[in-house]
Amino acid sequence: MAPSKRNMYRFPWSGNDNPIGWLEVTDRCNTYCRGCYRINGMQGHKSLEQIKEEINLLKTWRNCDNISIAGGEPLIHPDILDIVAYIRSQKMKPLILTNGIRLENNREFMVELKKAGAVGFTFHIDSEQHRPRWKGKTEHELFELRQHFADMAHSVGGLFVSFGMTVYPGNLDFVPDLVRWANQNIDRVHGLVLIGFRNAVMGGDFEYLVDGKPINMQTSYVADSDAESYLTSSDIYAKIQESFPHYETSAYMGGTQAHDKITWLVSAQLGTRTRMYGSVGPKVMELFQVIHHLQHGTYVIYSPSHRIPKIAFLLGLLDKGVRQATGEFFREVLRRPGELFRPLYVQSIGIIQGPDLLEDGRVDMCESCPDMTVWDGKLVHSCRMDEWRLYGSYVVAQRRAKEATNGQEVIAPDAIPVVGDAAPSSN
């Protein structure tokens, strides 16, 4: 069943007040992911000076709490430690979005990044990557690698750690196993990010235009068929719910066009290393955003600490989700009293559905897109930045003109008579 917007909190983020600033420090990458939106190596590493300017722009105009350092692969940028330190000096949280290749068996580098100010990592790992030493591995075989990074970050300590994957129809059934693994590692895995695969289908009913002229779109997300494009956030949510009654979402963002679209779905599950008890509801999500804004002047999405005191169960007084989790927890304590002394954690699951091309050619983006990035001194959606890099603007989709099918001739637009063309009146 699809989640209902009425039962969730709508994130209050906007273009001007958004917890996330998306920074791309390079477009080079040391692997290839099928779902990647970026053309590898078209422009190379940005200079430290340019990167600082972009950080300043994000801070000034977006009021960010964190800067997501992305790419390309950010850990191959030669100035990555200085970049992290600069973001920290600007009182924002540097979070590194990485494939982890440079961190494999390299704990010292992780320690250096933490010392420079990094608050954590989101590791993107899935079976559609051509990752050195792991090529051709199944999603299940990749658990060894996920565990390696989770254990390494746990041993360093004080880091936010989440794992991301692109979800295709082909690996949707694996998602519950990933959630199970994350739940079992709740003391070292703060969250999961699941991104529904999207591409733009060439040919078919649409043509693509820039400045009114047709183009042959060359971005990495063009495809011949839409067979894989229409996995929605609700599909991924339903897949998780099939296996985990404790899982429920509590916050969302909609789309910019269709009233029923859900682009971001966020949940916060509560549990210990042995059992999951439930998920917080919309009231706690709202409280978290409002209190952070009152205290720090920014909204929030990442917190390095995810261990919570049991007194947090008192939030059940105002939040139904926490109330249910509290009941489950104390019933379990009656069965196994040792559970009372186990640390309690919160673990997030973020589901993201990218842009959709609607029947009439409009593109439905994420409302208040948190992943706007800087291109040529302005903010653009990071998922569509290659349109700017290749064509200098967003590409417009337009339905191809249909030929008349009833044997009648189609009147060309400039041959349609208009009032001003009528013959002058004889009166």
Q: Which residues bind ligand SF4 (CB under 6 A)?
A: 263, 352, 354-355, 365-366, 369-371, 381-383
- Report the residue number, 219 or 272, with the smaller CB distance to ligand SF4: 219
Residue 168 CB, shortest distance to ligand SF4, in Å, is: 16
Task: Give the nearer residue to ligand SF4 in terms of CB position, either 148 or 389.
Answer: 389
Nearer to ligand SF4, 65 or 328 (CB): 65
86/299 with CB nearer ligand SF4:
299
Minimal distance in Å, beta carbon 242 to ligand SF4? 25
Tell me how far apart the alpha carbons of residues 307 and 187 are, in angstroms, rounded to a whole number: 8
Q: Looking at beta carbons only, is 111 or 223 nearer to ligand SF4?
A: 223
User: Residue with structure tokens 């001739």?
Assistant: 409
Nearer to ligand SF4, 62 or 246 (CB): 62
**Other beta carbons less than 10 A from residue 241's beta carbon:** 16
Smallest distance, ligand SF4 to C-beta of residue 22, A: 7
Give the integer Cα–Cα distance in Å for 191 and 203. Answer: 38
**Nearest to ligand SF4 of 35, 282 (CB atom):** 35
Alpha carbons 209 and 274: distance in angstroms, whole number: 54
Residue 11 or residue 121: which is nearer to ligand SF4 going by CB? 11
First to last CA, the chain: 69
Q: Looking at beta carbons only, is 39 or 156 nearer to ligand SF4? A: 39
Q: How far is the CB of 368 from ligand SF4 (least distance, A)?
A: 9
User: CA 294, CA 103: separation in Å to the nearest integer?
Assistant: 37
Minimal distance in Å, beta carbon 111 to ligand SF4? 31
Cross-strand partners of 372? 381
Taking the complex as a whole, the smallest distance from the CB of residue 285 to ligand SF4 amounts, in Å, to 18
Shortest approach of ligand SF4 to residue 167 CB, angstroms?
13
From the CB of 178, what's the least distance to ligand SF4, in Å? 20
Closest approach of ligand SF4 to the CB of residue 83, in Å: 20
